[in-house]
Amino acid sequence: MAAAGAAKSSLIDPDGGALVDLVVPAGERAARREEAAAMPRVALGRVELEWAHVVAEGWASPLRGFMREHEYLQSLHFNSLRCADGSLVNMSVPIVLAIGDAEKEAVGASPNVALAGPDGDLVAILRGVEIYKHHKEERIARTWGTTAPGLPYVEAAIAPAGDWIIGGDLEVLEPIKYNDGLDHYRLSPRELRKEFDRREADAVFAFQLRNPVHNGHALLMNDTRRRLLEMGYKNPILLLHPLGGFTKEDDVPLDVRMEQHSKVLEEGVLDPETTIVAIFPSPMHYAGPTEVQWHAKARVNAGANFYIVGRDPAGMGHPTEKRDLYDPDHGKKVLSMAPGLEKLNILPFRVAAYDTVEKKMAFFDPSRAKDFLFISGTMMRTYARNGESPPDGFMCPGGWQVLVNYYKSLQAEETGQQ
Amino acid sequence: MAAAGAAKSSLIDPDGGALVDLVVPAGERAARREEAAAMPRVALGRVELEWAHVVAEGWASPLRGFMREHEYLQSLHFNSLRCADGSLVNMSVPIVLAIGDAEKEAVGASPNVALAGPDGDLVAILRGVEIYKHHKEERIARTWGTTAPGLPYVEAAIAPAGDWIIGGDLEVLEPIKYNDGLDHYRLSPRELRKEFDRREADAVFAFQLRNPVHNGHALLMNDTRRRLLEMGYKNPILLLHPLGGFTKEDDVPLDVRMEQHSKVLEEGVLDPETTIVAIFPSPMHYAGPTEVQWHAKARVNAGANFYIVGRDPAGMGHPTEKRDLYDPDHGKKVLSMAPGLEKLNILPFRVAAYDTVEKKMAFFDPSRAKDFLFISGTMMRTYARNGESPPDGFMCPGGWQVLVNYYKSLQAEETGQQ
């Protein structure tokens, strides 16, 4: 008797070390377009296009496409995928493409399908497809640890999605661009690795964020660099790596964040000589301890060997209860234990807060707790909306001005709509 | 900088190969009882007592006690625990002891606590305790893949439990007994291994069940033995291993099942020479693909090297929707991919049904599907309740009579209560 459930074919690259690259070489594109024209079509939404981008560039390497059921189940139950040599690679969020009954019918028995972008243009081919049930409730429960209504990614990309999942090997017809003036920030893992080499980095420490950089973040990043130098590294390079895909509505939009980050470098809060700012093209799950593994794994693929992890990474408030959705300490604990991330050096975030005596952002000192002010995202937004200044030394003036302008424009828009 | 979240101490046995044995040797019990008398006390419910039994005998080996947070998080997120040598052992369900605010207060800073059984008698000591938050919603969602109300284990053992978990190293003061006339069936993993040796088994195939054995089950077990002989094994032994801990209310009770299983052997449906009937003392989660891993891992610890897995193992109906809670194929798929179970030989269950032409239980033949009758547990109960006989050849007559008597006694009780 054979072992049950052997995969028909695996999306895992047998050559575990090399980054997958699923973009069709320029010389072959015309032929592939012709071939794709005869295939049934499946439409990608914005979030699915972002995932195609992520997978094609190798952020999820050794994954080679949208997950077949074999990968989906491993990701859901074990947060990791087994390679042909028996080793485990981390893969904590399912990267899947959902389709509805009509699309399933249209695909029929075709082994290959063409994937169209949100504008209807041909984007990719999915080969050797496998269609299986999209058990939404189970996917949500196992990914988020809750099924409460109001999870942003669920509302945007799962609840409205179809009841089937189609997996297969991805071929992207050309590099995915967004034409939003920010594409030059979207360096692939390969491009980042080259840039680290060009700068002769001997350590790369990554900082994931989806918020403006305040001086507390900067303190932490600069302090990390100092520590790495103390450890004997000669040229540690910071990868300041804002997430660029789907985010929830009340997060600061990507273009505003990129402008804010530019000011932080211009005004010398972070040193441009030892910092690379690039966009991580993944959508955001807000799935706490499950998602932080994905955030770290993708940066390892891009060449980072140190990862900074803070309080409640990828966390948010519980959508229906007045509490954090996740235990704020679980993210760094789960990350430190995650299969496939054994070699990553995890740098725990020391909590920074505004020191009202020293009048600057500083590492929190519990022995004089009352001197410290924790400025939350909500407080920051309130200051900016009301045109008030945050305490001196909270954020560089140019960066703060970017936020003030953004919130003013929002208010103008809201007023205009009334 | 040190890696985050390093465990204070690990419950994982550094000697990964040997089964843990957490029962205090007879000569040391008096001294331990004296020591325990001075410790704060925590009360075990029936389900927690069953877990103490399970852990103490080594079913969950290398786990050495109720999980500390480090093990709990690994179990919840990865269904496995990392040993000191870096290898992974499977551990798919959290084995934890919940306590309330008052008990937490009573424990205070004491490093050790005494555990009392449901009758108030001293049962065990928990050493080097760690108390952490019991995030119930997250635990339920990640274990069951749903948070719908009505999950039997949740209703019995999680919803009413406290908001804290206490973990630590377990010492059971003497072997746990239930005095229900069935203790002689409760062989420990060590005792089972000895029995397999005594019988000179060269293959042990385990069959987990929580229902009466019908001739379809028997066909499967006998066919498995035949195949193992064909594969070259000389003396394959069947471990018929009914689950003996907590089950849901409408399952057939353990004593009735054991009587039914006895008849199946007495009447020669299974061969007593090559079958060992024993009770698996674990409580039942009804957690499908997550739980089947636990069921298999525990049997590996008891010396089984082949595990029979059927359709929808450890599954049940969705508590609030008219469908199976789990995809019926996921159990065997997830089991085949589970970290730490790589060496287990999984024997997929061929579906048996009543062949109305041959008038016996037979492997389902899709080419003449209309000849087959699938007799569900509900149908079986309906036959037995109404005093009707199932089709000839469905179950041996003595075994069937046990069920008829049970359901008659239930009806008498119900009538008496009216």
> Cβ of A73 and B342 within 8 Å?
no
Which pLDDT tens digit goes with each residue over B62-94?
999 999 999 999 999 999 999 998 999 999 999
Q: How far is A399 from chain B (nearest CA, A)?
A: 30
Q: What Rg, from alpha-carbon coordinates, does chain B have?
A: 22
Q: What is the pLDDT of residue A384?
A: 84
Q: What residues of B are in contact with residue A335 (Cβ under 8 Å)?
A: 4-5
d(CA B103, CA A372): 34
* pLDDT, tens digit only, all 418 positions of chain A: 333 333 334 555 444 467 999 999 999 999 999 999 999 999 999 999 999 999 999 999 999 999 999 999 999 999 999 999 899 999 999 999 999 999 999 999 999 999 999 999 999 999 999 999 999 999 999 999 999 999 999 999 999 999 999 999 999 999 999 999 999 999 999 999 999 999 999 999 999 999 999 999 999 999 999 999 999 999 999 999 999 999 999 999 999 999 999 999 999 999 999 999 999 999 999 999 999 999 999 999 999 999 999 889 999 999 999 999 999 999 999 999 999 999 899 987 778 899 999 999 999 999 999 999 988 777 888 888 888 889 989 999 999 999 999 998 988 887 776 5
> Cβ of B326 and A78 within 8 Å?
no
Q: What is the pLDDT of residue A16?
A: 45
CA–CA distances in Å: residue B417 to residues A98, B334, B405, B413: 52, 45, 18, 6
Residue ranges of A 189-228 with Cβ closer than 8 A to chain B: 227
For residue B17, name the pLDDT band (cuts at 50, 70, 90). low
Give the long-range contacts of residues A115-118, CB within 8 A, separation 24 or more. A115/A41, A115/A42, A115/A43, A115/A44, A115/A52, A116/A41, A116/A42, A116/A43, A116/A44, A117/A44, A117/A49, A118/A43, A118/A44, A118/A45, A118/A46, A118/A49
Q: What residues of A are in contact with residue B333 (Cβ under 8 Å)?
A: 4-5, 69-70, 73
> Comparing A63-72, B167-176, B355-364, which segment has the lowest mean pLDDT?
B355-364
Q: How far is B343 from chain A (nearest CA, A)?
A: 11
Mutation pick from B337, B346, B351, B363 vs chain A, by most beta carbons of A within 10 Å, is B337
CA–CA distances in Å: residue A203 to residues A254, A300, A345: 27, 12, 11
**Could you say which of A5, A289, A309 has the minimum Cβ distance to residue B77?**
A289
Residue ranges of B 382-401 with Cβ closer than 8 A to chain A: none
Angle at B170 between CA B167 and CA B175, to 5 degrees: 140
Q: Does B327 touch chain A (CB under 8 A)?
A: yes
Q: What is the pLDDT of residue A11?
A: 52
> Cβ of A289 and B3 within 8 Å?
no
Residue ranges of A 50-109 with Cβ closer than 8 A to chain B: 69-70, 73-74, 77-80, 82, 86, 88
Q: What is the pLDDT of residue B14?
A: 42
DSSP strands (E only) in A20-154 = 41-43, 65-66, 80-82, 88-90, 98-99, 113-116, 122-133
pTM: predicted TM-score of the whole model, two decimal places: 0.94
**Could you say which of B6, B77, B86 has the minimum Cβ distance to residue A334?**
B77
Check whether B417 has a pLDDT greater than 80: no
Which pLDDT tens digit goes with each residue over B189-205?
999 999 999 999 999 99
Q: What is the pLDDT of residue B59?
A: 98
Tokens of A418: 């009334």
Please name which of B35, B53, B52, B55 lies closest in space to residue B113, comparing C-alpha atoms.
B35
> Cβ of A4 and B227 within 8 Å?
no
Q: What is the pLDDT of residue B348?
A: 77
Tokens of B209: 């069940």
Residue A329 β-bridge partners: none
Tokens of B90: 């499977």
Number of A/B CB contacts below 8 angstroms equals 131
Q: What is the DSSP string of B204-252?
A: EEEEEESS---HHHHHHHHHHHHHHHHTT-S-EEEEEEEB-S---TTSP
Q: What is the DSSP string of B354-382?
A: EETTTTEEEE--GGGGGGEE---HHHHHH
Which pLDDT tens digit goes with each residue over B27-58?
999 999 999 999 999 999 999 999 999 999 99
Which pLDDT tens digit goes with each residue over B372-406?
998 877 788 888 888 888 998 999 999 999 999 99
Q: What is the pLDDT of residue A381?
A: 80
**Could you say which of A3, A142, A336 has the minimum Cβ distance to residue B346?**
A3
- Scan for tokens 């008052």, then name that residue: B102
> Cβ of B333 and A78 within 8 Å?
no
> Cβ of B141 and A137 within 8 Å?
no
What one-letter code names the amino acid at B341? L
Q: What residues of B are in contact with residue A148 (Cβ under 8 Å)?
A: 137
Q: What is the pLDDT of residue A347?
A: 86
**Could you say which of B1, B146, B334 has the minimum Cβ distance to residue A348?**
B1
Q: What is the pLDDT of residue B6?
A: 33
**Could you say which of B6, B327, B336 has the minimum Cβ distance to residue A3?**
B336
- Scan for tokens 């709990």, then name that residue: B72
- Mean pLDDT of all residues in B333-353: 90
Q: What is the DSSP string of A74-102?
A: HHHHHSEEE-TTS-EEE--S----EE-HH
Q: What residues of B are in contact with residue A131 (Cβ under 8 Å)?
A: none
CA–CA distances in Å: residue B335 to residues A5, A170, B10, B289: 9, 27, 26, 7
Q: Does A309 touch chain B (CB under 8 A)?
A: yes
Query: From A148, which residue of chain B is nearest by alpha-carbon distance?
Result: B147
ipTM: 0.94
Q: Does A137 touch chain B (CB under 8 A)?
A: yes
> Cβ of B3 and A342 within 8 Å?
no
